[in-house]
């Protein structure tokens, strides 16, 4: 399928963001056909370029987040660089940045300055705590945002430590995905109004969305409800039918048999139909069922349980570890892992595609730092003399 058939073909995006949240959002846009041009500092560029692991002097993290993009270097600390950015935005639909609130304004290239150049521009700012509030300028990382949003406190064993998530819920779920929602909503609005808008994405606000069902219920219940409790509620470890169980070979099973019809089937396969009776009971009765399941699953290795529950459709899955996910036949069938030749590296590289595919995803290698500077600037009308002043 040709790239012209991709839904975002013709959309032009300037990406000033770094590391993970912004670049993953713009990766999704690029995979859907948008032209995404990274604006990077001349010295070093996006910090993730230098982060391990490295192969062929290229960061695997950078490679995975920046395919299908071009790279332009501009020094925004210099007047020439700032003026160049102002001229460039006249040719773009969307700008994404992830600086602390106020940084772009101090440079003279904040939302108001850039939208004065292009009123149709959608300006998306991703930050840890948002553009307003007492902590708007506070430093943080994904773990901090997940902690502040209550995600860490809700996961883990009852009476034990909060569960360390291991993945970037705030960065991706709170930052990247809500940036995409905001950008696409603003593009739709622009069709009606002809005007762009400012999209304020707080990764902490976004992380809170993972608790929406539980916290919204808590608010509704008011004084008749109870505060959220780690490890004691239906979906965070309180029910025996919905939890993780260790097997004899130190692997794990994810038992998600939440509905009675599913858990009844699990109990039948285990030869213990009586366990269903107290599976949803609070307190000691439910705890006894959980303890018995813990004992039973620990008696045999993972492969035994996979065979025992094969074809049962009872909401039981092995916990994938290491490279297991790369061998998963369902994920392979979905086409998430695609090999492509990288002419610069002189070898094939397997790409992990973004989940939403609406056509054949292009697989152009990530850009070297400033690789497309002249191409981008010349297309925007910069003369040879102006390019020279910008160091190109």
Q: Return the active site residues.
A: 141, 171
* Token pair listed for 92: 């773009």
Helix axes 177-193, 21-31, angle to 10 degrees: 60
> Radius of gyration over alpha carbons of the chain, in Å?
25
Contacts of 319 (CB under 8 A, 6+ apart): 244, 251, 252, 253, 254
Cβ atoms of 272 and 278 within 8 Å: the answer is no
Give Cα separations from 119 to 187, 191, 201 (angstroms). 13, 13, 20
Query: What gap in Å lies between CA 91 and CA 185, rounded to an integer?
Result: 20
DSSP string, 203-260: HHHHHHGGGHHHHHHHHHHGGGS----TTTSIIIIISTTEEEEE-TTS-EEEEE--SH
Tokens 């609070």 found at: 282
On whether the CB atoms of residues 362 and 35 are closer than 8 A, the answer is no
How is residue 119 written in tokens?
């009123």
The answer to whether the beta carbons of residues 266 and 257 sit under 8 Å apart is yes
Beta strands in 46-129 (DSSP E): 54-55, 58-59, 69-73, 94-97, 122-127
The rounded distance, in Å, linking the Cα atoms of 145 and 206 is: 9
Look at phi and psi of residue 92 and say left if phi exceeds 0, alpha if psi is from -120 to 50, else beta: beta
Q: Which residues contact 224 (CB under 8 A, 6 or more apart)?
A: none
Task: Please answer whether residues 254 and 316 qualify as being in contact, where contact means their C-beta atoms are separated by less than 8 angstroms.
Answer: yes
């Amino acid at each position: 399928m040709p790239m012209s058939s991709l839904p975002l073909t013709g959309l032009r995006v300037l990406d000033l963001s770094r590391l993970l949240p912004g670049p993953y959002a713009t990766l999704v846009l690029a995979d859907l056909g948008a032209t995404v041009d990274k604006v990077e500092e001349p010295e070093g560029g996006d910090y993730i370029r230098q982060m391990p692991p490295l192969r062929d002097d290229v960061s695997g993290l950078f490679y995975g987040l920046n395919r299908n993009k071009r790279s332009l270097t501009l020094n925004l600390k210099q007047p020439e660089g700032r003026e160049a950015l102002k001229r460039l935005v006249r040719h773009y639909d969307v700008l994404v940045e992830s600086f602390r609130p106020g940084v772009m304004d101090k440079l003279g290239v904040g939302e108001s300055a850039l939208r004065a150049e292009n009123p149709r521009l959608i300006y998306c700012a991703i930050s840890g705590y948002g553009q307003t509030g007492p902590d708007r300028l506070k430093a943080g990382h994904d773990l901090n945002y997940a902690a502040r949003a209550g995600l860490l406190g809700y996961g883990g064993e009852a009476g034990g430590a909060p569960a360390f998530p291991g993945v970037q819920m705030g960065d991706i779920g709170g930052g990247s995905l809500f940036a995409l929602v905001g950008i696409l909503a603003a593009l739709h609005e622009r069709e009606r109004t002809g005007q762009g808008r400012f999209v304020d994405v707080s990764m902490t606000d976004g992380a809170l969305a993972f608790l929406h069902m539980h916290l919204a219920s808590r608010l509704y219940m008011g004084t008749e409800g109870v505060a959220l409790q780690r490890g004691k509620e239906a979906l965070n470890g309180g029910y025996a039918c919905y939890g993780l169980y260790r097997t004899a070979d130190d692997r794990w099973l994810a038992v998600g048999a939440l509905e009675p019809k599913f858990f009844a089937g699990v109990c039948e396969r285990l030869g213990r139909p009586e366990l269903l009776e107290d599976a949803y009971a609070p307190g000691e009765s439910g705890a006894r069922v959980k303890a018995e399941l813990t004992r039973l699953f620990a008696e045999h290795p993972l492969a035994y349980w996979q065979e025992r529950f094969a074809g049962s459709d009872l909401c039981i899955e092995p916990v994938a570890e290491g490279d297991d996910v790369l061998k998963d036949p369902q994920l392979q069938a979905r086409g998430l892992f695609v090999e492509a030749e990288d002419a610069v590296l002189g070898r094939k590289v397997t790409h992990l595609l973004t989940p939403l595919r609406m056509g054949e995803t292009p697989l152009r290698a990530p850009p070297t730092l400033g690789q497309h500077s002249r191409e981008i600037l010349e297309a925007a009308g910069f003369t040879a003399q102006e390019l020279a002043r910008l160091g190109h």
